[in-house]
Amino acid sequence: MQISENNNPHYQRIGGDEKIRALVQRFYQLMDELPETHGIRKMHAADLKGAEEKLFMFLSGWMGGPQRYAEQFGHPRLRQRHMPFSIGDSERDQWMMCMNQAMDDVIEDEALRKELTAAFQKVADFMRNQ
């Protein structure tokens, strides 16, 4: 679910690398701290730095900025890469809880938050394999 730079202005609207990095850091901080997201937290390594960097790289390209993830790892193949994990409605909702709160905390532009919420919801729904 990659969007090319030509038809996705989200990278510039969010504020580029600095804001994407802040969003990703807040997302994983919430995942690490919220008891209600324990289900998805336990799917990750004890140290979240690797996951944090990969999500930053992916979101950069997904939002229309530099295609860092694709350049380093190839096509994201999100669903395939997440297949080893049991992802159902609960896991999707936990992920969205973290991302929605992170967006509320980091992104000032309400219209952009709504657009990204709709886009993230589609991706999160697509990731379900249970």
Higher pLDDT: 82 or 63? It is 63
Check residue 5 and give its pLDDT: 42
Instruction: Measure the CA–CA gap between 101 and 113, rounded to whole angstroms.
Output: 10
pTM of the model: 0.89
Check residue 24 and give its pLDDT: 98
Give pLDDT tens digits for 14-61: 999 999 999 999 999 999 999 999 999 999 999 999 999 999 999 999
Q: If you average pLDDT over every residue of the chain, what do you get?
A: 91
Residue 9 CB partners (closer than 8 Å, separation 6+): 64
Full residue range of the structural domain in which residue 84 is found: 5-127
**Number of compact structural domains in the chain:** 1
Q: Inform me whether the pLDDT recorded for 110 exceeds 50.
A: yes
Instruction: Measure the CA–CA gap between 82 and 85, rounded to whole angstroms.
Output: 6
CATH for 74: 1.10.490.10
